Each structure stands twice: as C-alpha cells, then as structure tokens.
Structure 1
Amino acid sequence: MRILGRLLVVLLVMAAMLFAAAGTFDYWQAWLFLAAYAASSLAITFYLMRKDPALLERRKRGGPTAEKEATQKIIMSIASLAFIGLLIVPALDRRFAWSQMPSPMALAGHVIFLLGWAAIFFVFRENSFASATVELAPDQRVISTGPYALVRHPMYAGGLVMLLGIPIALGSWWGLLVIVAMIPALIWRLIDEERFLARNLPGYAEYQRRLRYRLIPMIW
C-alpha cells in the first residue's frame, strides 16, 4: 500500500502548489482537476496491482534520480520543473486574472486530460515493459501491436495529450505556454531513448524502419 501513500503525498503537494499560488481555495477548476487526477491515478494503480504488478514496480521508479543515463537525468530535471510550472502558472493566472477562459472550455480540458490518461492505460495494457525510466528489462522485447502499431511512442503521445489538458482544465490560456516550453524536452527524451533502444534492444532498429511515425500518425 506504499504506492497509495505516495499518491496521497503527490496530491497534497499539488494541492498546496495550486491553492498557494492562486491565493484562494475558491478555485473550482483546481478541485475538479485534483479529483480527476486522483481518480485516474487510482484506477490505473488498482488495475496494475491486479493485472501487472511487475509494471507497477517499474513505474514506481521514476524521476531524475532514478535515471541511469546522464542525459536523461538532465531531461527529467527539466521536465519536472516544467510540470511544476504547469500547475503554478494557471494558478497565478487565476489569482491575477491574466486571462479569462469560459467554464465549458475548462470542462473540455478535463476531458482532454482524461483522454490522455486513457491512452496511457492502453499502452500499459499492451506493454508490460513501459518503465518510468530509460532502461531494459532482462526479458524485454519489441512491442509492435496495439497503439505501438500506430506510433513508436504512444505513451509520450498520450502524455502530451494529458499535459495539454492540464492548463485548460485549470482555466488558463497562459498555462499553454508551459506546454510549448516542454515540447523540446519531450522530443529530446524521445530521440535519446530511441538511440538507446536501437543500440541495446534486438529488433528495435527494424521496428524503426517499419514504422516511420514516432509521436503523431501520418505526421512525425
């Protein structure tokens, strides 16, 4: 049950950042976002506890300190800071009213956020090797079915959709600028991970040749 305790800590830290930056608890978008984050995280956690505890264990080891490659430590440090900004900027927007977003748009942001989580769930269901760090399991093999038949990195695609939904869900147009700043770090991680897999995972180079699209079908 330690994983549930960690999730609770994450939620409390996120709530503290949101409401401290907003300067108020009267921020319905933040309350709804925290509920959506908690519900989706719990749903995936309970699924993995029952169906794929090995993957859950791999997902627990994440963040800059868990990465083995120096480049990935740098990338994940940047991504972690950017994620904090993804919460702080919309909350400051709420506090100082930098932008006005209609309530239906904020609700649509929650739908986008949950769609991103759903895409990540389908990745987890298909790929038991979807570690939170760039590494290889002893028995790892190339996965080319399900969402991996569409793009080589469906988890990053789903993650990008999820991240895009956060500032909209929190009612902030300015928060979208943080997403723009995060995209180079995501692309850097993706390309560096592909180099690692092509060198170390048998069959991955062939998979790259077969499937051209990394992140967005028919585009890139």
Structure 2
Amino acid sequence: MNHLVLKTISGFLILIITMGLLLFIPAWTVRYLQAWLYLFTFAVSTILITLYLFKNDPELLKRRVKAGSTAEKEKAQKAIQAIANLFFCLIYIVAGLDFHFHWSRIPELISILANAFVFLGFYIVFLVFKENSYTSAIIEVNKDQKVISTEVYAVVRHPMYFGAILMLVFSSVALGSYWSLLCVLALIISIIARLLYEEKFLSENLSGYKEYCKKVKYHLIPYIW
C-alpha cells in the first residue's frame, strides 16, 4: 500500500505541475486568474476522488494509476492514447497562448462559473468509479469482471467518457479560451475512436456485454448517440 500511496501522490504532483507549466509558460505570466482557479478545481476534484478510492476501493486505484499509452496492450490503442495525450497537452498550451495574445473574449465571470461544470464532469467520473470497480485506465477484462448496467451505466455505455468530455469542454471556457476548444474537439474524436474499439473488445471478451449493448442503446450522449 505504501508503494501505491507514493505512486499516486507523485503521479498527481507531476500532473498538476505539468499542467501549470503548460499554462503559465505560454501565457508568459503567473497573473492568470482563470488558470489558478481551474487548477484549484482540478486538483481538489482529483484529491477527493483519490481519497475515496484509497478508503473504499484501493484495487480500482491500482488499476487507475496504471495508465498511458505505454500501459496499453494493443498497438492501435497505444497510438490513440498517444494522440489523446498530445491534444490534452495542447488544450493548455493553446489556452496559455490565447491568454497571452488576447485572442478570445470570454467574460471573467463566465470562466469562473465554468469551473462548476468542470467539477460536475469529475463528479460523473466519481459516480462511475463508485459503481464499477473494474474501470481500468487501459482496455482489458479482469478476472471475475461482470457487466455493470445500473445507475449511470443504465443511461449510456460510457458514462466516464461523457464526464471527461464535459470536463474538457468547460476546461477551455474556464481557462478563458475559445481556441483551445479545437484541441478538445480533436481529443473527443480520439475518445470516440477508443470507445468504439473498447465496445468491440468487450463484446468479444466480456460475457453479457452484447446483451447490455442491446439494452442500453446510447454510446456516449443520452438520446443522441
């Protein structure tokens, strides 16, 4: 457990520091209020979810810290994850540049309020973790894994991706940047490619998943797709 604690804390610190550098270096200033508020929202949300997992589901936390393109087993997924990581970084780089060059004109109050939706996206992800202990960060099927079809999984097949997309879209607004939404769009495309592959993989390797897909028709967005 000590190794898990160390890996989780170090991973969190590296992520937050990296995000800060990606924002403040292109902005060429630390006087970027929207970035500070966003990083605070992101950090608090992550800490709250992590503390819950430490206490209630450490096995899921172990699976979540095993993430990234290098952890994937399939070449296609390695590529998709690498592309997703690139556009994730570009969201913050473009937002920083946007702040420096004043490309966008999002009212400061709107940016501040957007953090509530960032938090909402994280909350949806939390509901997924609470409901499904097999939510691995890579595409795999664990021993004794079962299909989850209750709560958020009764609405869409990939509620975690929905929460992540909600968080990402409003991240751009919270950072005061319309232009970084282009990077979010590219990231959403990579997420869709990943979920379609994941559905194919689970249909072939997880008993009952095909029946679940017939029951829950929407992939990502309720009543739309």
Shift of 1:99: 1.2
- Identity rate, percent: 46
Give the aligned partner of residue 165 of structure 1: 170
Give the aligned partner of residue 148 of structure 1: 153
Letter in 1 for 2:33: W
Q: What pairs with 1:45-194 in structure 2 (closer than 5 Å)?
A: 45-194=50-199
Alpha-carbon distance in 2 for matches of 1:108, 1:132: 29
Alpha-carbon distance in 1 for matches of 2:216, 2:11: 37
Does structure 2 conserve the Cα–Cα contact (< 8 Å) formed by 1:61 and 1:133? yes
Alpha-carbon distance in 2 for matches of 1:139, 1:127: 13
Shift of 1:162: 0.7
Runs of at least 4 residues off by over 6 Å: none
Give the aligned partner of residue 15 of structure 2: 10
* TM-superposition CA deviations, 1:34-91 (whole Å, max 9, x none): 1111101110000000000000000001110000111111110010000001101111
Alpha-carbon distance in 2 for matches of 1:219, 1:12: 37
Alpha-carbon distance in 2 for matches of 1:178, 1:109: 18
Letter in 2 for 1:87: Y
- The reply on whether 1:204 has 2:209 as its aligned counterpart is yes
- Please, what TM-score do these two structures have when normalized by structure 1? 0.98
- Please, what TM-score do these two structures have when normalized by structure 2? 0.96
Letter in 1 for 2:166: V
Does structure 2 conserve the Cα–Cα contact (< 8 Å) formed by 1:112 and 1:164? no
Alpha-carbon distance in 2 for matches of 1:9, 1:191: 30
List runs of 5+ in structure 2 lacking aligned partners: none
Alpha-carbon distance in 2 for matches of 1:141, 1:171: 42
List runs of 5+ in structure 1 lacking aligned partners: none
- RMSD in angstroms over aligned alpha carbons? 0.8
Alpha-carbon distance in 2 for matches of 1:191, 1:10: 27
Letter in 1 for 2:210: A
